[in-house]
Amino acid sequence: MLRYDARYEIFVTLKQRMQGSDHASYLLVDPMSRCDLHTLDALQRKKYVVDLERFGMERDLCPYILGIDGAHDDLLKESINIAWERRNDWQQPQPICGWITSEHQAPRLAGALLRQAVTSRAGRARQLDRFYDPRVVRHARYSQRSRRVFSGATAWSQLGWDGVLQEVPCLNGNLPDAQQGHPHDPHMEWCAPMNAAISQLQRMGHASTEREAALQRAVRTAMSLGLAGGELADAITFLLHKVLIHTDIELHPVISSWLQDAVSRKASYADRCAEADPAWWISVKQGAWLGKANGFKLEDGHG
């Protein structure tokens, strides 16, 4: 049963798309979330596995496709319920990776997903590209380099953390001939800390699309400073500080020195921040230091 709240509008949107298309409709599920999917399993649909097992993933954790039998199928309703409830923790893998319309049969669609999920670059072994993950799709929208288009579907909708459908760019249902490499995009290395920061804002009740955009601006600042997205504690701390404490926090002389130490791997930015007391952080948030950086002296209590 579909619960009657804002998710009903999602159901109507997807239902209208399915009714207006001559192509088949599918659900893409990612068990990597390890959440309870018994309501889907109870429908006893055939699973078309995206066979990432050959690349080191356990078969039980490989994504799979389920066919949606019309707009009134309970599979559509139950999948919307799961997606809606799980979006509240954006740091965790999302079990519902979207509703796909494709002219291809399920086995061919699974093959297309496999070919584009496993990529290789010059001089590197093949690696998994979770391009199908709603969190990756959302982060990629802000990249100036990532212009990924999925070849194998005519439409692909996912549910964002904000409860709004987001679209995966698709290319007229054409299938790729072979695995393709993609240019390295440093912005995508910030996907994990970005997701963690949004999740933290969700728990605090402060998540909004405006703050998401501010976090993405913070990502660009962090990259320009040379911070590594792979240093999760430092990366997450900096993103949240930019949004919750001060938009120009990297200009604070003390904090600037901490960031430089983090870039040169002399010390952890997150550890340095943890040594400062609350009163000192309040003074940073108030921003009286801005414009007075020259001759700034370390205040008592910053650690």
Amino acid at 284: V
C-alpha angle 226/227/229, rounded to 5°? 125
CA distance 152 to 176: 8
From the number of C-beta atoms within 10 Å of its C-beta (0-12, 13-18, 19+), residue 233 rates as: middle
Inter-residue contact 112 to 52 (CB < 8 Å): no
pTM tops 0.75 = yes
CA distance 255 to 257: 5
- Helices 74-86 and 7-19: crossing angle, nearest 10°? 140
- What is the full per-residue pLDDT of the chain (303 aa) written as tens digits? 555 678 899 999 999 999 899 999 999 999 998 888 999 999 999 999 999 887 788 999 999 999 998 877 899 999 999 999 999 999 999 999 999 999 999 999 999 999 888 776 655 666 788 899 999 999 988 887 666 788 889 999 999 999 999 999 888 655 655 555 556 678 889 999 999 999 999 999 999 999 999 999 999 999 999 999 999 999 999 999 999 999 999 999 999 999 999 999 999 999 999 999 999 999 999 998 887 654 444 444 454
